[in-house]
Structure 1
Amino acid sequence: MKKLLFIVLLGFSGILDAQNYQITYQRSSNGTVIEGQEPIIVETNALLTKVYNKTKDVTVSSYPQEFTIIDRASTSFQQFAILSMDRAIYMKDSTTLAKQSFEYLPETKKILGYTCKKAKTIVNSNTIEFWYTDALKIKGAPTILGQNLGLVLEMVRNGNFVISAVTIDKIKTIRSNGLKTQKVDALTYKDLLWKSRFNTIPIFKDQVINFSNESKSNDSILRFANGTIAVRKVKFPEIKIGSQIFADVTEQSNGDAYDRTGSFFMIPTDKALSFLDGLKNGAKTLPIYTNGNGKEYQGVVATEHYNPVVELMRFFTPFGVKQYNYLELKDKTWAENVLYRQDISDLLPLLSGKEVWIGINIGNYDKGGHKVSANITIHSEGESKAQPTRIVPLFCTNNIMEMAGQEYGTMFNNEKGLEVSFTLDQPMKNIKLRYITTGHGGWENGDEFVPKKNTIYLNGKETFGFTPWRQDCGSYRLSNPASGNFGNGLSSSDYSRSNWCPGTVTNPIFIDLGDLPAGNHTLKVTIPQGLPEGGSFSSWNISGVLIGE
């Protein structure tokens, strides 16, 4: 493995003539040493101090790496970050060290044979205590905090997290680091360091989702349903089991003033027919589901030769954020956009190492529509609780192709509701149904505003039932400048709804289904859908996939 080539030397003047020490620190929590940690190393003398983590192996996988150089003469420090094999950045701070203040306390104790004094400070409501010695005539600490006290041998945060020195050794010199570095400001440093800790897969950037005959596809992004759907092919790297995956979408109005259903989704293409075929050739070319109510529902359930879309995230636009921020109200400062961010680690097998079609849709009839950006980020460090080995798409009644004639999810007006049959070629264990549900339609008597129970049946037996309902919609008022205000003092965006609010994500729920043997199975969803009122009708957007071992 190639090591990072250090090119430009940092000038450590006078290092060879000074008495140099290396102090090694370890971390502990609640009295127990933290396992698997990288020791903190402080190399210091009267002129400068270097602080870094001792890594076991400097490889590509160990980036980013940080270290700090404190210049004692100028009371300043430089913070360095090695972001990759060929990139390093640094920032300089000349004020922070001088601003630190401490309360000096009378207690003393011995650490590693040295008599230590005590100091204390409070940072962001955290009480931090320092034990430091003047015996060696040098200064240093395992963090930026406390660098000018003396040689800090122990730091205690809130009485339970401790960084303590375990060895103090004399060394010949403080090792210099040759770095080809780029100087940046402090905010840019933090931003670049943060972004280097995970892999960002850009999906859409400032993509307009609108309704217009002028909406056209290009070489990388396909547009469908008069511009209300954008789709592109994305290549994902191999993703380590246990990684966390997040989807994020940023939205703002580009003309449309209303709250709309949005979907960030993946199109399975592992069977003979896919939703992409329906986008290209029309909704009527997709498999038809009927339940006896006289309507035909296109592409909503899995069949032997077809898998429906898998929703990565269901989101709802607010009333006109950004475009209508000129509608002023006293003591209200409107948001500039809405960020939707959701953990989708449970869907890892659908993405890892694959080239897949990813799409985004916002149902609207406005020529300006909405502007969106979307990314998927992969975080390899840390453990995800969701580690499935198999995913089976079952249904999605969210009519993503609404503006191209796909029928609304009104199949819940009879006892059959939505029913899907599926075949497992091998047994599945610890199965969960990843279920997203939102109710829509009507005015005050429609299912959008009336709680309705969702009931799940597996192989004819009722397995789970609950009433999806959101009562926190008023929390998002500042994202809804164009929301209508009523005589009772409420705004439209305040009202509770069937599992959604204008400007929010609707989280999936995970329904335990146990183990299933190989063979044929049936899953059914029933909802007591409300009756039409004049030109208004109720519908339900539900989607579900099986996740199991």
Structure 2
Amino acid sequence: MNWKILFKTLCVLITLIFNQSIAQNYKVYYRMNYKTDSLEEEIKNKNMILLIKDDKSKFYSQEQFENDSTVIENRKKGVKSQIKYDYAFMIIKDSKTKKLSKFTSLFSDLYQLSEKAPDFDWKIMPETKSIAGYTCQKASLSYSGRNWEIWFTSDISLQEGPSIFNGLPGLIIYMKDTKNNYEFSFTGIKKDEITDIIFFSTPFLEVTKKQLAKVLIDHYNDPYREMKTGNIKVLWQDENGKPFKPDYKELTKNEQQYIKKNNNPIELADAIKYP
């Protein structure tokens, strides 16, 4: 028996099996609890979905996913759809090119910021426990101004997780930062053959980090500019339905206070430094 030929054949078979296993498409569901203002006790929550197809993944709100799915079906029928703009926290990762895209929406505009995917310095610990029926192992991470506690499972051979996070030897099932600003809890997974990673129901604008910061600071400085110029039509009415002319100076002051308070991104180092 030619052992060299046998060895090469086994290597090819193993490679084919491995490639087939990672090429499957998945939907992973998470429940995200978060604070938009780190100084307040109020905790908001959002159902999120992680789409995985080959080398790419897309993490965004389940509501936006469902809206996009409706838009896709209606476009096939030639029917117009109402577009949602629930793009907060949306991340697209490409493990092959090691790049990721972050998205920010402002009014009806969607901005895409592309950058190199980070290399995470995971600390894997021996501690294990069962979560959602899976045997999970503990890990920790210090990244971008936050310290994280993570539980992942090798029972699911996907080196993925919520938001920007990936690279552990299994799927992230649970993670939270030590100050309880963000918490991600796995709620389910299913295989899916029609996962669409690249679809957007609205076009986006590609920007640099510097350009995006300028857009957000310009909005902070004059948040009602589009309304004052008439580019965005708003009918101001009092509680009795009577039209009135707004005090934009007072509205601007209140909006600036709101923007400053709600400046608590997952990557804390990305928080905008408003004037």
Q: What's the TM-score, normalizing by structure 2?
A: 0.58
Counterpart CA distance in 2 for 1:122 and 1:74 is: 24
Corresponding letter in the other structure for 1:172:
E
Would the aligned equivalents of 1:45 and 1:139 in 2 still touch at CA under 8 Å? no
Would the aligned equivalents of 2:224 and 2:248 in 1 still touch at CA under 8 Å? no
Aligned to 1:173: 194
Counterpart CA distance in 2 for 1:156 and 1:375 is: 35
CA gap of 1:187–1:116, structure 2 versus 1, over 3 A, is farther
Higher strand share: 1
Aligned to 2:7: none
Aligned to 1:25: 30
Aligned to 2:94: 71
Counterpart CA distance in 1 for 2:114 and 2:121 is: 20
CA gap of 1:358–1:41, structure 2 versus 1, over 3 A, is closer
Counterpart CA distance in 2 for 1:198 and 1:23 is: 39
Would the aligned equivalents of 2:32 and 2:46 in 1 still touch at CA under 8 Å? no
CA gap of 1:169–1:357, structure 2 versus 1, over 3 A, is closer
Would the aligned equivalents of 2:33 and 2:44 in 1 still touch at CA under 8 Å? no
1:129 is matched with which residue: 149, 158, 165?
Answer: 149
Aligned to 2:5: none
Counterpart CA distance in 2 for 1:112 and 1:181 is: 37
In the alignment, does 2:89 pair up with 1:89? no
CA gap of 1:42–1:357, structure 2 versus 1, over 3 A, is closer
Would the aligned equivalents of 2:236 and 2:245 in 1 still touch at CA under 8 Å? no
Would the aligned equivalents of 1:42 and 1:50 in 2 still touch at CA under 8 Å? yes
Counterpart CA distance in 2 for 1:172 and 1:193 is: 38
Would the aligned equivalents of 1:201 and 1:377 in 2 still touch at CA under 8 Å? no
Q: 1:90 deviation in Å?
A: 1.0
Q: 1:127 deviation in Å?
A: 2.5
Corresponding letter in the other structure for 1:109:
K
In the alignment, does 2:64 pair up with 1:44? no
1:53 is matched with which residue: 61, 64, 85?
Answer: 61
2:138 is matched with which residue: 99, 102, 118?
Answer: 118
Larger radius of gyration: 1
Would the aligned equivalents of 1:141 and 1:151 in 2 still touch at CA under 8 Å? yes
Aligned to 1:184: 207
Would the aligned equivalents of 1:44 and 1:139 in 2 still touch at CA under 8 Å? no
Trace 1:40-439 onto structure 2 (pairs within 5 A).
40-55=48-63, 63=85, 65-66=87-88, 67-85=90-108, 87-94=109-116, 96-98=117-119, 100-123=120-143, 126-144=146-164, 146-149=165-168, 150-158=170-178, 160=180, 162-175=183-196, 176-178=198-200, 180-192=203-215, 200-202=223-225, 237-238=235-236, 353-355=243-245, 376=252, 379=255
Aligned to 2:37: none
Would the aligned equivalents of 1:46 and 1:72 in 2 still touch at CA under 8 Å? no
What secondary structure sits across from 2:156 in the alignment?
coil
What secondary structure sits across from 1:55 in the alignment?
helix
Gaps of 5+ in 1: 1-13, 204-234, 242-348, 360-373, 383-549
CA gap of 1:77–1:239, structure 2 versus 1, over 3 A, is farther
Q: 1:430-453: per-residue Cα shift (whole Å, max 9, x none)?
A: xxxxxxxxxxxxxxxxxxxxxxxx
Q: 1:191 deviation in Å?
A: 5.0
Q: Which segment is superposed worse, 43-52 or 176-185?
A: 176-185
Gaps of 5+ in 2: 1-18, 35-41, 68-80, 227-232, 259-275
CA gap of 1:194–1:48, structure 2 versus 1, over 3 A, is farther
Counterpart CA distance in 2 for 1:134 and 1:42 is: 18
Q: 1:174 deviation in Å?
A: 2.1
Q: Which has the higher contact order (CA 8 A, sep 6+)?
A: 2
Higher helix share: 2
Would the aligned equivalents of 1:198 and 1:377 in 2 still touch at CA under 8 Å? no
Counterpart CA distance in 2 for 1:103 and 1:194 is: 36
Corresponding letter in the other structure for 1:147:
N
Counterpart CA distance in 2 for 1:196 and 1:171 is: 40
Aligned to 1:318: none
Corresponding letter in the other structure for 1:131:
W
State, as a whole percentage, how many aligned pairs show the same letter: 20
Counterpart CA distance in 2 for 1:108 and 1:80 is: 35
Aligned to 1:228: none
What secondary structure sits across from 1:166 in the alignment?
strand
Would the aligned equivalents of 1:64 and 1:84 in 2 still touch at CA under 8 Å? no
Would the aligned equivalents of 2:58 and 2:93 in 1 still touch at CA under 8 Å? yes
Counterpart CA distance in 2 for 1:132 and 1:93 is: 25
Q: What is the total number of aligned residue pairs between the two structures? A: 205
CA gap of 1:126–1:114, structure 2 versus 1, over 3 A, is same
